Amino acid sequence: MTINGTPPRTIKSYVLRSGRLTPGQKNALKQYWPLYGIDFRQQRLELSELAGGFDALKLEIGIGNGDALISMAQNDQQTMYLGIEVHEAGVGRCLSNIHQQALSNVRLIRHDAIEVLQHMLLPRSLDRVFLFFPDPWHKKRHHKRRIVNAQFRDLLSMLLKPGACLHMATDWQEYAEHMAAEFLSDSRYLNTGDTRGYAQRPAYRPATRFENRGLKLGHGVWDLIFELKPDHEP
């Protein structure tokens, strides 16, 4: 559908901030993006461009400063980790840390995650997807911006390998309930947690600054892990 010849604006799950970059972040974007960055394109990535020589491909959506991504990659160097983030400051910091740690198993895409899922990833290519502490858009009028919705479930059902998992975490109870309801109602996914959809935090997920902030504010933290059923056909 178009309006006066122009496609309707897609509702985004984020708002771009125009914060200032530090000199170190600017330098990292200039020096290290050619080494560890992948430019967005409306064309599927061949796995050789991402995971050549690695046992698995795991994706984190919304890496923030990249602390969780770096930690997981350090402890799982047989896996290629792909991180998506729209904010330059976080990407710059993550690039700097990748280079300092000399990690060969991390790549970043600086673009809208939904468009990356739609256009860049091959079907049945992902061994795990992480969505840690996304913006909960807690005001009711903003719920339409939440990334966890029917479109998100549909995209992951095509990109995850059968038996692969989506791991979500949030420090907003109402958003945890929303996430759980979305996936508990979808017969393509298997709940690996309790009857409410909540799981114990796996050892591979580090505590993030967002999590620590939430705990200081008296919030709970909820992990949700849903597995794509092995018999699901895309």
Q: Which residues are catalytic?
A: 135
Residues in the chain: 234
CB atoms within 10 A of CB 158: 17
Judged on CB neighbours under 10 Å (0-12, 13-18, 19+), 185 is exposed
Strands 79-84 and 56-61 come out as parallel
Measured CA to CA, the distance from residue 225 to residue 168 in angstroms comes to 6
Q: Angle, to 10 degrees, between the axis of helix 67-74 and the axis of helix 88-100? A: 30
